[in-house]
Amino acid sequence: MTNGSESTAAGAPPLELVPLGGLGEFGMNMMVVACGDTAILIDAGVMFPEPELLGVDLIIPDLRQLQQYRIQALVLTHGHEDHIGAVAHVLPHVDGPIYGTPLTLALVEPKLAELEDARSRLYAVRPRDRVTVGSFTLEFLRVTHSMPDCVAVAMRTPAGVVLHTGDFKIDQTPLDGEHVDFHRLAQLGAEGVLVLLGDSTNIERKGVSGSERDVIDGFEEIFTSAQGRIVIAMFASSLYRMQIVLDLAFQFDRRVAFVGRGVIENSQIAERLGYLRIPPGVQIRDSDVRNFPSQDVVCICTGSQGEPQAALPRIAIDDHRHVKLEHDDVVVFSAREIPGNEKAIGRVMNHVARRGADVVYEGIKHVHVSGHGSEEELKLMLSLVRPKYFVPIHGEYRQLARHARVAARVSAGTKVVLAENGDLIRIDRDGARVAEKVPAGRILIDGTRSGEVGDEVLRDRRHLAGDGLVVPVVAIGRQSGAVEETPDVITRGFVLDARTETLLKEVPGLVAAAIESASIEERTDPGLIKEKIRVDLQRFFRKRSGLRPLVLPVVMEI
């Protein structure tokens, strides 16, 4: 098939692409690819909750739509949580194997411990391997990212070739020597690719993202100048970064301790499989840190996002049983700030500074490089593949829209389909389009995480002491913005008598009216709609009763 042919192969059934997560947000990556009697699922990711989702541990996509297909395989592109975190939740909907590279499957395996026979469904694949699933042939292609063993997936379907990039950047000097498979990507482009599904995360960054090796100089400076202990916070999956730190520690005659469950587990898995080389005599246990002089130790730890229960935030407030910060220590944040975590990270940095340690982060020294391709790398992928249709994936809507504009400039012959979660993209002889909407949303997974309480509680307590608390609870459709159920009202410390009970009966109707009078943008933005409900209800109580209760709307998106 070539790009000049009909939209799909002659006589082929329509191709359907259904993103259930990852289009319109960072995380929850999940995509159904279906053609004829074959359907597969690409990735099964989670998203971590915003601070206001109290007690929620993880967020996964709404899985209802999976019941409409017989999913014959789950295909994983790599081992980050936003691609594998929901595997255990998705597995009951998958009637077949789970394919992934050896490292990806090793990271998935602990998540399946409680599921009977789940491990027997794991099938390891390597780049250039091909497997058959129903009428599809899947080929796995090496790409570079911020961790080892990442692949793109080329799916040969009856309608044509669908290429899913996974997360990628173009690292010309990868630490493990495993390069992006340019040759095969170009070959597929020459043969004809029907649809390219391309990572959009860093489209707003000009130029190229750079190699993982680019951080070595910044770390060398730290190792050369640090008088005390070096503590480095990173994502537990940043195995390339771990390797760089281990090699420098060996060079500078320092011992390395992994501190925090995530980095301990991942370093053990990666070492066992040969993706992490720990030089002889370098590693010590976290409990041995206190037995070595500060200038001889490096700690690699979790907590780069300020998560309250992770290692670094506990170290920063002197609450860790093995690691205490001292005056000459250097604490390095070697990870990007995930949007929404800025305040938590800032608090940890302030606590570190109070201990007398030096704080180093990306704005001060080059200690982090992104794992996602910037604009020029994404253009290069488009130029190599030259697809007939292009669907931007992985990113908030503005990233998807920008990637769409860039793609139109790169290849005038490529038609761009801009979609969001729940859009069913159909490709047949009439072309490619969003044919319909299907149920898509979020499922909140409850956990036992506990968070910090801010200083603003004092102000709220004064307010509560006066007129109590009114909590209107409303469920709003994530995409439609419609009220899903009659709003509920909970009160605490609010005097109930004949007059106030009459007022409370009016509240659900007022809340519903406030939502109905809002625009679709307001209704689908929890922050805006909460503020509108709060202002309307406070005005209502003040006018009708002279009371000023604290109104705390809870808006649940479903």
199 among known catalytic residues: yes
> Do 7 and 427 touch, CB atoms closer than 8 A?
yes
The SS3 call for residue 100 is strand
CB 367 within 8 A of CB 360: yes
- One of 199, 286, 329, 536 is an active-site residue; which one? 199
Structure tokens at 357: 């340690």
SS3 helix, strand, coil % of the chain, rounded to 5?
A: 35, 25, 40
29 touches 80 (CB < 8 A): no
Largest CA distance in the chain: 78
**Which H or E run contains 499?**
helix 498-516
Does residue 552 contact residue 469 with C-beta atoms inside 8 Å? yes
Residues β-bridged to residue 100? 124
Distance CA 364, CA 310 (A): 24
Give dist(CA 179, CA 193) in Å, integer: 22
Judge whether 406 and 212 are in contact, CB under 8 Å. no
What is the DSSP annotation of 501-549? HHHHHHHHHHHHHHHHTS-HHHHT-HHHHHHHHHHHHHHHHHHHHS--P
Count Cβ atoms within 10 A of the Cβ of residue 274 and give its class: 0-12 exposed, 13-18 middle, 19 or more buried: exposed
CB 367 within 8 A of CB 373: no
Residue 165 contacts residue 384 (beta carbons within 8 Å): no
The phi and psi torsions of 85 (rounded to 5 degrees) equal -65, -20
Radius of gyration of the chain (CA): 26
Q: Under the phi-then-psi rule, with left for phi > 0, alpha for psi from -120 to 50, and beta for the rest, what region is 43?
A: left
State the CB neighbour count (10 A cutoff) for residue 68: 15
Q: How many residues can be counted in the chain?
A: 558
Q: Which is catalytic among the residues 78, 145, 164, 372?
A: 372
Instruction: Determine the Cα angle at 368 with ends 365 and 373, to 5°.
Output: 130
Q: How far apart are CA 394 and CA 403, in angstroms?
A: 11
273-278 CB contacts, 8 Å cutoff, 24+ apart: 273/102, 273/103, 273/106, 275/103, 275/148, 275/149, 275/176, 275/239, 276/239, 276/242, 276/243, 276/246, 277/243, 277/246, 278/246
Hey, which residues are catalytic here? 199, 372
